[in-house]
Structure 1
């Protein structure tokens, strides 16, 4: 983190990224002195309500973060920035999104956890848009113009006021990762899932919570002891995440059931005032590790693998079979994972576990929309399989063909998860 004093003394001349959280009530003019080099500006965690009308003087600016500020309207000066492609205004007080505030080169827009009721139709006129984060707002509809967002790959619209998903949304040719739980249209399924799990809520007094094993956007995972068993417990943070609400994740985890490639859930923790919700999980063998890192600012929607990371053909086939089996199991139970990525895949050799249900949503498996949602997630599987094959010395022809078929622009031509399983076995 940089300081305002460093900026004023000229010590930051020539830097490409500036991170400044200094209880700022106004935009420091000294930032303009970095115009010839600055590409990433992070002003999150301040008291800003406005940005300069001539922000475009930062002519090299590509990324702007202004999360955790009290902005009420997305600043129109953003739209004038010639190179700006990533905009993040999470957890502000945004009610208005003017069309003029949308940069022409917009690729990644984060407006999570605000008060937005409407989006401008001009959003559909940003052809480079790949990633759109809108969870935790007050949207009751999406602009019809978004049907023209042919590059959109990831969409988060959980915890809004949407009764249904528009049909055009599921026809977008590149959409692969979708989260829509916590809307009126899915609340009933979530409530039923939370109420129907066979394991009665587990009293917290029966647990001995130990060391922290890991954490994600939605919660912390600790080692624990319960009834003489070594287990894991996930304690939810109880707040809006970029994917949605913790209780939606709990509902999906409890409904997922048992499968060899899923992390086994024992049951929910008993609710207690002042304590976070929690789930008790089977403890995973420490041999398992995350397959890849999450997307970067540059890769946007693609995971980051190690430069020397390679897979043999047998491992690729085994992992593909494991993921496809888990996916078909979830789809049969009416659950869309929503975040099928290598960074959510825990791997030990040829064995794997699909984790993180933070973006999971419910659907009716036998409906037309349910079929479309399964084929949407087939594209995510195809991307994952392609990434593995790109790092395989001798990729099998039938796997290359399957990866391509799963990513067809015509969503109706993609194989559903059950067919993917059969093709892998064949």
Structure 2
């Protein structure tokens, strides 16, 4: 994090990224002195409510973060920033989104956790739009112009006021990761599954070291003391209360429970009760430390694609084992009326043998378990996510793949990613094709 004193003293000359979080109420004009080099500007965590009309003087500015401020309107000056591709205004007080505020090269827009009830037609006139994050607003509809956004891959509209999903949305050729939980349109979680989940008293848990922390909560290693005094090592996830880019953490918890048992899903042992602060949480199986994440989160540059380690390589058999495990888990989820919504390498844990677990249900949504046109479309959108994963695995196979098997693998990838959503296979068919590999 930089300081205002450094900026005013001229110590930051030549930098490409500036991070300022120091209670700012006005935009520091000294930032314009960095115009020749500044590409990423992060002003999150301040008290700003406006930006200067001449912001376009930052001619190299590609990325702007202004989350956790006091904006009530997305500033119209953003639309004049010719190089700006990514905008993040999460957790403000935004009600208005003027069409003029959307720059021509817009690729990634984050407006999570605001008060927006309508979006401008101009949003669908941004041909490079790839990621759109709108969870936690008051939206009842999307602008129909979005049907022309053929590059849109990730859409988050959880916790709004949608009573239906438009048919054109389910036909977008590139839509891959969709989250819509917490809207009136959503099918309810399986109440029987929620009620049948064992309750585990907080007093029976002894937390040890923290294992990880994400947008929705904190995971810690713990010991669970049974009635007979025996201890069982477990993982405890305590959910945060605030809105995430995917949606509500409590919807995530319900999806984890409803998912049920599957060898490629992390097992839920029970739901925490009697936490002293009323915090919600789950007790889950403790994953063997030999498991690691398949990939890292997407970067600012990769946008909607995971970042893989340069030296990551698999044999064909290990890659195939991963593919089968994730396809089987997805087939199981769809049978329970759940789309994962975030089927990505960074949400997959695996070991050297290719044993794998699909985790993080933050983007999960519920749909009808009956076979309808909408259900099939929602499931086939997720099949495209699996097709992307197939391509990423294939690119990292370094042995054991014959020319014939490679052609078969590539054909399955193309089939899963084809533009015609309803022509894509379901996961049952995908699994049969993987067996042929």
Shorter-chain TM-score: what band?
Answer: over 0.9
Q: Which residue of 2 aligns with 1:361?
A: 365
Q: Is the 8 A contact 1:194 1:250 kept in 2?
A: no
1:401 to 411, 414, 417: 411
Superposition map of 1:196-215 within 5 A? 196-215=194-213
Q: Which residue of 2 aligns with 1:89?
A: 89
Deviations 1:258-313 (A, max 9, x none): 11100001121115462310001011111100011000000000000111111111
Provide the rounded CA distance (Å) in 2 between the counterparts of 1:343 and 1:312.
20
Q: Is the 8 A contact 2:193 2:257 kept in 1?
A: no
| Aligned positions, number | 424
Q: Which residue of 2 aligns with 1:100?
A: 100
Provide the rounded CA distance (Å) in 1 between the counterparts of 2:383 and 2:276.
41
- 1:310 corresponds to 2:308: no
Contiguous gaps of at least 5 residues in structure 2 = none
Deviations 1:339-382 (A, max 9, x none): 00000000102100000000000011322111001100000000
Q: Is the 8 A contact 1:193 1:254 kept in 2?
A: no
Provide the rounded CA distance (Å) in 1 between the counterparts of 2:132 and 2:417.
20
Secondary structure at the counterpart of residue 7 of structure 2: helix
Provide the rounded CA distance (Å) in 1 between the counterparts of 2:338 and 2:191.
11
Q: Which residue of 2 aligns with 1:383?
A: 388
Q: Which residue of 2 aligns with 1:64?
A: 64
- 1:147 corresponds to 2:151: no
Superposition map of 1:123-134 within 5 A? 123-134=123-134
The alpha carbon displacement at 1:397 in A equals 2.1
The alpha carbon displacement at 1:178 in A equals 0.6
Secondary structure at the counterpart of residue 71 of structure 2: coil
Provide the rounded CA distance (Å) in 1 between the counterparts of 2:300 and 2:192.
36
Q: Is the 8 A contact 2:207 2:223 kept in 1?
A: yes
- 1:411 corresponds to 2:421: yes
Secondary structure at the counterpart of residue 202 of structure 1: strand
**Runs of 4+ in structure 1 over 6 Å off:** none
Q: Which residue of 2 aligns with 1:55?
A: 55
- 1:239 corresponds to 2:238: no
Q: Which moved more, 1:128-137 or 1:207-216?
A: 207-216
Provide the rounded CA distance (Å) in 1 between the counterparts of 2:78 and 2:44.
16
Contiguous gaps of at least 5 residues in structure 1 = none
- 1:287 corresponds to 2:290: yes
Provide the rounded CA distance (Å) in 1 between the counterparts of 2:275 and 2:145.
45
Q: Which residue of 2 aligns with 1:77?
A: 77
The alpha carbon displacement at 1:199 in A equals 2.6
Q: Which residue of 2 aligns with 1:266?
A: 269
1:298 to 298, 301, 307: 301
Provide the rounded CA distance (Å) in 2 between the counterparts of 1:54 and 1:199.
56
Q: Which moved more, 1:61-70 or 1:274-283?
A: 274-283
The alpha carbon displacement at 1:111 in A equals 0.3
State TM-score, norm by structure 2: 0.95
Secondary structure at the counterpart of residue 249 of structure 1: helix
Q: Which moved more, 1:251-260 or 1:394-403?
A: 394-403
